[in-house]
Amino acid sequence: MHKPLAGIKVLELARILAGPWIGQLLADLGADVVKIERPGIGDDTRSWGPPFVEAAEGGTLSASYFHSTNRGKRSVAADFETEEGRAVVRRLAAHADVMIENFKVGGLKKYGLDHESLRALNPRLVTCSVTGFGQDGPYAPRAGYDFMIQGLGGIMSLTGEPDGEPVKTAVAFADVFTGVYGTVAILAALQGRHATGEGCHIDMALLDTQVSVLGNQALVYLVSGLLPPRMGNEHTSIVPYQVFPAADGHVIVACGNDGQFEKFCGVLGTAWHRDPAYATNPARVTNRAVLIPLIAAETQRHPKAELLAKLTAVNVPVGPINDLAEVFSDPQVLHRGLRVDLPEPRARGGSVPSVSSPIVIDGVRMVAERASPQVGDHTESVLSDPAWGG
């Protein structure tokens, strides 16, 4: 399949997660992504282990963290501290469609590699700058890390048990979302370039993204003036919509309407749906403190598999709580091909596992066919590539 971004050249001057996530997604969609790395050291996350991908000949091929966000790229080793290294970046930028960078505000200007400097060489260049707090404002000079952004941006005030401490998400929530939004912005900028013939500068901030994805919880506050509480696995506006105990584990039940609740009651053999205190969702929200213990007492009488089967049969949204071993052995996950093993002769076993992008176009899943590179793997091939000025 001819991938939609084939022919688009992306220069990545980014490390850690948010910026590389953009580069990986663009590579999955067919772009030629060239990652600039410090000679011998590379992206910081190469050492963020264990675990590490084991090499066939002994040693390692970087940490799993690095491989989670750098597949499909070509690595060029260049040192910004030297004029030779800066010249390499300028040359590649002159032929690139997109540049991704996540240096502190002004961090590239001292090297003459900021957007304004490079657009003089390439007016069509789209630059996406990823920072913690954006290019302006009182916090702009600060370094931004996902954990602190989750706290500052409000999501931790909503996550966790009511009587427990605030909890961050287990995945770098702000980083990944910034990577996705950054990709959307780049695609929009490339489309806009068709009309103007000129590139632009995209300002992506982790804090902006974190606040933006507060979604319905933000509107609860903005509309009512009330602070949404931490509710653990419960939902502020829907009941029942949470984890319930089974005889041998737990299940998630998510009744989004009164019809589903009636079917849920039918499976449990109760008549709560006929009681005015529970017949409608607003009534159930109001009376959740009484209803939830009643439901839990019934669900824990049934084995997990039985609940899953019976509720699925009557179209009540229900699901298990899988660990990652169960996720990657789940028949739907297997069928959809969400795990991919990318060829890498230097790795023990000859491949590196990866989690595919969720994008499927005309039946073809968009995932790069090449594993993450080692530092400088492609320095010679990129610098001799005519598409990059070689």
Catalytic residues: 175
List, as one string, the DSSP characters of 119-166.
HTT-TT-EEEEEESS-SSSTTTTS---HHHHHHHTTGGGTSS-TTS--
Q: Specify the 3-state DSSP secondary structure of 76.
A: strand
How far, CA to CA in Å, does 49 sit from each of 6, 174, 201, 202?
A: 33, 21, 34, 32
Give 220-288 as a DSSP string.
Answer: HHHHH-PPPPP-TTS-SS-SSEEEEEETTEEEEEE--SHHHHHHHHHHHT--GGGSTTTSSHHHHHHTH
Q: Rounded to whole angstroms, how far apart are CA atoms 179 and 128?
A: 10
Strand partners, 318: 253
Residue 233 CB contacts under 8 Å (≥ 6 apart), including other chains: 242, 243, 252
Tokens of residue 185, six digits? 């912005």
Residues 6+ apart with CB under 8 A from 381: 74
Instruction: Tell how strand 339-343 and strand 351-355 pair up.
Output: antiparallel
The SS3 assignment for 367 reads coil
- The pair phi, psi for residue 107, each rounded to 5°, is -65, -30
Q: Which residues share a beta bridge with 319? A: 252
Tell me how far apart the alpha carbons of residues 344 and 372 are, in angstroms, rounded to a whole number.
9
- Can you tell me the distance from the alpha carbon of 325 to that of 18, in angstroms, rounded to the nearest whole number? 26
Strand 241-246 vs strand 249-254: parallel, antiparallel, or unpaired?
A: antiparallel
